């Protein structure tokens, strides 16, 4: 899938959006949620996306997550044009390269935390023992070692969010997309999650893109992109000062 | 891959036990209906065969006159003579024994009790060819037969009517104007084809001819065929011999008829088999209806679990994996229903067979067949809902409330 034409030493782009638009609905009801986005993200970056409600943050995340396709424009993931891939190829891309933390938690109800975290590994066809130990490690890394057998209904919002993160990182994805991972947490818990994501980016080289409303959380990122009305309003580096 | 799908299916079934049970109820009922019908049909067939065997296995019955069919009077035909029986026994090699019979309905009296019954005169060969056993006493012997002694062996029903629970052996009953000593009591055969086989008194042929009927006619011949001998050849030989002895010219119709009990048993059995198959087919339709029940619930389940399917697709499940998950879930449900139906059907069949007095015969073929059919129904009726789940758009599925 990846065509490595990297010049040694220089960072290579993991993903590129070129003139991406997204129009919901048709005719009079047509609503342009994205109106021409150009963004390039290098391997290993830690990017925060901010912007008012309805500015198209979730829409762009869905496109980056290969769940949705742009109306016009092009999305390159490691130089592969995602919008040209088949449904099956996009599913395989999600399976092998992406981790997604949804705006809602989107955990399987009445299913234990560990089984939820195992799910992506199940589809990768990993054997049971390996699956269990990876899932256990992922849950431990979000501080939920003691909650493995609890179903989502028996967990607090913050704990559910952390299960969702564990599920997204258990496969060691190339790209971790998190849509408001701290939206439901108090600021203390929120900071913990952000530190966790920062550590993942730093230690495992995972590229992290997250959406947040809170500038306090955005400070953990190396780069902040502001969305307004379906446009990129500003795109600047934090300069490492957290 | 298959194992994983199975695991997912089992988890889904476990998560909603009550609904899973209700879903498979149709299949349970369908499978049990099919198995019960066929099992009881088998039992009924066996029961018919048993009854025929109790009449006498390998038995050919020759009677005077021709059954011409409904609405046509049988032509008057002469009775047989005792010599006809001897001729068949001595001239046809495949015949084991021939019992000439002369029957008549008379009223017999024991003290104050009387009972109208069938008195049959025959030789001792009658007891072996008719598969009779003794409950007490003895059969009459050749000496008594030749002498035309006034002795008799009575059936269970006659004993009940005249003697109650008493042992009748040694008592004397009055038949017409003579006293007859009871020397034996026959073991009960029960009903066969709605007729009471035990309502009978057997005497030496000569006694009946002289003292009851007043003629030396023989009204029937019971021929038992040797084991392993060809029945058709024996039947042909008896027909030819009787035509010759009764001086029937070529081209003329027989004035006697020959009934093959085994043939009757086979005809009846095949009739019951056809009935069983029809009932089984009707039951199979109920199994099909059970399949529609599964489809219905699976469709509801797919709608209800739209979000779950969205999550799975978003995480990287492929279409065919979601399809397999739901298909296997349907098949697992149907097969589970099949197993429960199988167990229930055999338990019910044991009780029902006992109630209608037919033997319970476990039929492994129909058990396996209905189980496979149930699983197949799971595949067929599970496919549509499973396909629907697999083709969902992940984004819309995730947004579904
Ligand atoms: N499926 C859809 N059909 C029609 N319009 C949609 C759909 N999804 C989103 N929109 C519209 O597109 C716009 C952008 O939506 P999006 O969910 O990307 O916003 P957001 O930036 O994530 O907002 P929030 O911060 O509230 O999550 C909104 O105005 C929304 O109404
Ligand atoms: Mg959003």
Our answer on whether the CB atom of A104 is closer than 6 Å to any ligand 1 atom is no
Which band of pLDDT confidence, cut at 50, 70 and 90, is reported for residue B64?
confident
Q: What is the ipTM of this complex?
A: 0.89
Q: Span A7-237: which CATH code?
A: 3.40.50.300
Q: Please, which residues have CB less than 5 A from ligand 2, an ion? A: A 58
Q: Does B11 touch chain A (CB under 8 A)?
A: yes
Helices B364-390 and B319-355 sit at what angle, rounded to 10 degrees? 150
Q: Residue A165 in contact with residue A178, Cβ under 8 Å?
A: yes
Give the model's pLDDT for residue B251.
80
> Across-strand partners of B80?
B218
Q: Could you tell me the residue ranges of all domains in chain A? A: 7-237
> A55: CA distance to ligand 1 center in Å?
7
Measured in angstroms, the CA of A8 and the nearest CA of chain B are apart by 32
For the entire predicted model, the pTM comes to 0.71
User: A7-16 b/e with 16+ CB inside 10 Å = b?
Assistant: eeeeeeebbb
Our answer on whether the CB atom of A31 is closer than 6 Å to any ligand 1 atom is yes
Q: Is the pLDDT of residue B63 over 70?
A: yes
Give the model's pLDDT for residue B253.
81
Q: Residue B389 in contact with residue B322, Cβ under 8 Å?
A: yes
B198's CB contacts (< 8 A; 6+ apart) are: B155, B156, B157, B158, B186, B188, B189, B190
pLDDT digits (tens, 9 = 90+) for B262-317: 888 888 888 888 988 898 888 888 888 888 888 888 888 888 889 889 999 999 89
- Residues of chain A in contact with residue B398, where contact means CB-CB under 8 angstroms, are 67, 102, 104, 106
Give the model's pLDDT for residue B185.
93
Which band of pLDDT confidence, cut at 50, 70 and 90, is reported for residue A3?
very low
pLDDT digits (tens, 9 = 90+) for A132-181: 999 999 999 888 999 999 999 999 888 898 899 999 999 999 999 999 88
Our answer on whether the CB atom of A230 is closer than 6 Å to any ligand 1 atom is no
Helices B319-355 and B261-304 sit at what angle, rounded to 10 degrees? 140
Our answer on whether the CB atom of A58 is closer than 6 Å to any ligand 1 atom is yes
Q: Is the pLDDT of residue A219 over 50?
A: yes
Long-range (24+ apart) CB contacts under 8 A made by B6-10 are B6/B328, B6/B332, B7/A122, B8/A122, B8/B325, B8/B328, B8/B329, B9/B325, B9/B326, B9/B328, B9/B329, B9/B332, B10/B332
Q: Does A96 touch chain B (CB under 8 A)?
A: yes
Mean pLDDT of chain B: 87
A120–B315 C-beta distance less than 8 A: yes
pLDDT digits (tens, 9 = 90+) for B312-342: 999 989 999 899 888 988 888 889 899 999 9
- Residues of chain A in contact with residue B4, where contact means CB-CB under 8 angstroms, are 122-123, 125
Report the percentage of chain A scoring pLDDT > 70. Answer: 94
- Residues of chain A in contact with residue B12, where contact means CB-CB under 8 angstroms, are none
Comparing CB atoms, the residue among B307, B316, B395 nearest residue A91 is B316
Give the model's pLDDT for residue A152.
92
> A197: CA distance to ligand 2 center in Å?
19
């Amino acid at each position: 899938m990846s065509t490595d034409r990297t010049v040694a030493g220089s960072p290579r782009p993991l993903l590129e959006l070129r003139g991406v638009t997204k129009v919901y609905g048709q005719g009079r009801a047509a609503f342009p949620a994205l109106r021409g986005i150009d963004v390039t993200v290098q391997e290993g970056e830690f990017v925060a996306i901010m912007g008012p409600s309805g500015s198209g943050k979730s829409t762009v995340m869905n496109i980056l997550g290969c769940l949705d396709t742009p109306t016009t424009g092009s999305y390159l993931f490691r130089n592969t044009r995602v919008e040209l891939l088949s449904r099956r190829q996009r599913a395989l891309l999600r399976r092998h390269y992406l981790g997604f933390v949804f705006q809602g938690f989107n955990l399987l109800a009445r299913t234990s935390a560990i089984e939820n975290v195992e799910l992506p590994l199940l589809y990768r066809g990993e054997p049971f023992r390996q699956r269990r130990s990876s899932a256990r490690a992922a849950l431990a890394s979000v501080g939920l070692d003691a909650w493995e057998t609890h179903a989502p209904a028996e967990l607090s919002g913050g704990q559910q969010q952390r299960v969702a993160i564990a599920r997204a990182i258990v496969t060691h994805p190339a790209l971790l997309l998190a849509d408001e991972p701290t939206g439901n947490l108090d600021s203390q818990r929120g900071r913990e999650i952000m530190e966790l994501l920062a550590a993942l980016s730093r230690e495992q080289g995972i590229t992290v893109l997250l959406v947040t409303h809170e500038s306090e959380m955005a400070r953990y990122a190396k780069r902040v992109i502001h969305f307004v009305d379906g446009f990129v309003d500003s795109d600047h580096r934090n300069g490492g000062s957290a | 891959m298959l194992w994983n799908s199975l695991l997912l299916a089992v988890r889904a079934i476990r998560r909603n036990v009550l609904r899973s049970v209700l879903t498979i109820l149709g299949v349970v009922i369908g499978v049990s209906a099919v198995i019960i019908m066929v099992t009881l049909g088998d039992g009924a067939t066996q029961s018919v065969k048993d009854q025929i065997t109790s009449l006498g296995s390998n038995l050919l019955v020759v009677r005077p006159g021709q059954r011409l069919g409904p609405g046509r009077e049988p032509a008057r035909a002469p009775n047989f003579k005792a010599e006809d029986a001897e001729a068949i026994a001595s001239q046809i090699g495949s015949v084991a024994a021939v019992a000439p019979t002369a029957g008549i309905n008379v009223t017999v009296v024991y003290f104050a009790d009387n009972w109208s019954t069938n008195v049959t005169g025959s030789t001792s060969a009658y007891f072996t060819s008719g598969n009779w056993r003794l409950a007490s006493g003895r059969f009459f012997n050749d000496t008594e037969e030749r002498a035309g002694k006034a002795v008799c062996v009575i059936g269970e029903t006659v004993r009940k009517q005249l003697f109650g629970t008493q042992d009748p052996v040694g008592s004397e009953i009055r038949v017409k104007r003579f006293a007859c000593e009871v020397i034996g009591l026959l073991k009960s055969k029960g009903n066969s084809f709605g007729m009471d086989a035990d309502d009978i008194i057997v005497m030496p042929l000569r006694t009946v001819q002289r003292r009851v009927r007043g003629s030396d006619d023989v009204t029937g011949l019971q021929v038992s065929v040797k084991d392993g001998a060809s029945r058709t050849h024996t039947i042909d030989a008896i027909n030819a011999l009787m035509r010759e002895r009764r001086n029937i010219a070529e081209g003329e119709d027989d004035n006697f008829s020959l009934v093959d009990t085994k043939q009757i048993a086979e005809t009846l059995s095949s009739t019951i088999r056809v009935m069983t198959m029809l009932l089984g087919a009707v039951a199979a339709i109920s199994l099909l209806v059970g399949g529609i029940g599964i489809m219905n619930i699976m469709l509801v389940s797919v709608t209800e679990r739209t979000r779950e399917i969205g999550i799975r697709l978003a995480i990287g499940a492929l279409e065919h994996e979601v399809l397999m998950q739901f298909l296997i879930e349907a098949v697992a449900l149907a097969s589970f229903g099949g197993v429960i139906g199988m167990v229930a059907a055999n338990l019910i069949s044991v009780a029902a067979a006992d109630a209608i007095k037919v033997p319970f015969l476990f039929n492994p073929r129909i058990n396996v067949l209905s189980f496979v059919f149930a699983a197949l129904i799971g595949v067929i009726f599970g496919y549509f809902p499973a396909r629907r789940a697999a083709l969902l758009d992940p984004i819309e599925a995730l947004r579904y409330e």
